[in-house]
Amino acid sequence: MKKQQPLQVAFQGAPGAFSHRAGQIFVEQHELDPETKYVPCRSFDEVFDSVLSYKCALGVIPLENTSIGSIVANFDLLFMHPVMMVGEIYIPIHHQLIGFEGTPIKSLTSVYSHPAALDQCKVFLKSLPAIKPQAYWDTSGAALHVSASKDRKSAAIASEFAAKEANLAILKRDIEDHEGNSTRFGIIVPSPEHKNTDSRKKPDPRISPLVAETSKKYPLKMSCVVELPHTPGTLANLLNGLVQSHINLTKIESRPVPDAPWHYRFFLDMVVDSKDKEHQVIEELKERTETVKLLGRYQIWEAGMS
């Protein structure tokens, strides 16, 4: 009997990235495959492509951070592509200053990291004006770059996980500006209506039970995107409808519609506590909006889960 191939999970970044860790937590929680392979991608687009081509069964994308807000590029990609969210993971983001063992911090001249990480450590960086921040495509990738450079005057800002991957030391711990810094990640799979152009490639069968499981237990979180008529009061009308239905709206994010200047799409996350309530909400959305696209139904992340 042919041995089943390991489950593959796509994430943006190099090994050791926060997205890598979020994928590991999701796989561990759902006991999917102890031999899962985590596939690093250079961009968010590549994560979506890997999932939609069935190269990877799951994709991990950051959605929002408590310090810098939403990762808007991924909201646009969720709208554009036939994927669905089957889970969310919240990761506390603790940034470490990573370099070569024994290097004095005052001797550093450059620190590499993703622009978002540099932005989350502004207070620390301002305290060391001799260090020049250098934008890099990924936090963990920055750590690997410093390791490969052998330059003891360079350091990176990344996770403790990334320090181990790069075989570097932590020169200073927890340098983020805000103690409660955290990022929410979404777990994506191809939506049921997606058809790959290569008929020989099929979705990983291990994902079907996961999709069924994550969408049957209530309460659950539902994510969707809507477009509204460009007339006064339409957003208020939508929100009033959700209030009347006693729906807990946990997020609303507006994004411009590129081919319709000054028109916006609204991304909504809400908690529904029963199947009847879910059907009621969907009918409300259809009645009060021009278009509705369901982005996912999944279990609510509970504080303390790891």
Active site residues: 183, 185
**Distance (Å, rounded) from C-alpha 36 to C-alpha 167?**
23
Tally of residues, the chain:
306
Cα 285–chain centre separation: 25
User: Which ranges constitute the DSSP H helices of the chain?
Assistant: 18-29, 44-52, 72-80, 115-119, 122-126, 139-149, 160-166, 207-214, 234-244, 275-288
Cα 173 to Cα 48, 140, 247, 267: the distances in Å are: 33, 16, 41, 35
Per the CB < 8 A criterion, the answer to whether 182 and 92 are in contact is: yes
**Pairing between β-strand 154-158 and β-strand 220-227 as defined by DSSP bridges:** unpaired
Cα 136 to Cα 114, 128, 144, 195: the distances in Å are: 5, 19, 11, 35
**Distance (Å, rounded) from C-alpha 98 to C-alpha 147?**
10
**Distance (Å, rounded) from C-alpha 72 to C-alpha 189?**
19
Give the residue carrying structure tokens 């934008």. Answer: 135
**Distance (Å, rounded) from C-alpha 23 to C-alpha 30?**
11
Cα 124 to Cα 57, 141, 175, 180, 219: the distances in Å are: 39, 21, 6, 16, 41
**Distance (Å, rounded) from C-alpha 99 to C-alpha 171?**
6
Cα 69 to Cα 116, 126, 220, 232, 265: the distances in Å are: 10, 22, 23, 27, 17
